[in-house]
Amino acid sequence: MAKTASFGVLHLGTSFGVTYTLTGNIAIAGAVTFIEPLVNTVMHHFFEKYWGHPALLAWWARRGRPSEVVNPA
């Protein structure tokens, strides 16, 4: 858990630093720092939910993808 928490803090610091460097605006950098992880978390939920969906697996299979993609563990 400590590793996950420290990575989260590192991610937030990096996000703030990059956004502030690009915009020069503390408010925008702060907003992006907290909004991006929230959006990313919601996207990850749906990614995980549909990754093993039969329709997606069939789509991968039709394209000749490697078996580890078609048959996730």
Indicate the average pLDDT of the chain. 86
Token pair listed for 61: 């299979």
Residue 33 CB neighbour total at 10 angstroms: 19
Give 60's pLDDT tier (boundaries 50, 70, 90): confident
Question: How many Cβ atoms sit within 10 Å of the Cβ of residue 20?
Answer: 16
> How far is residue 57's CA from residue 44's CA, in Å, rounded to a whole number?
18
Q: How confident is the model at residue 6, as a pLDDT?
A: 93
CA distances from 16 to 2, 10, 11, 69, 72 (A): 21, 10, 9, 34, 35
Highest mean pLDDT among 25-34, 44-53, 64-73: 25-34
Q: What residues does each domain of the chain span?
A: 2-70
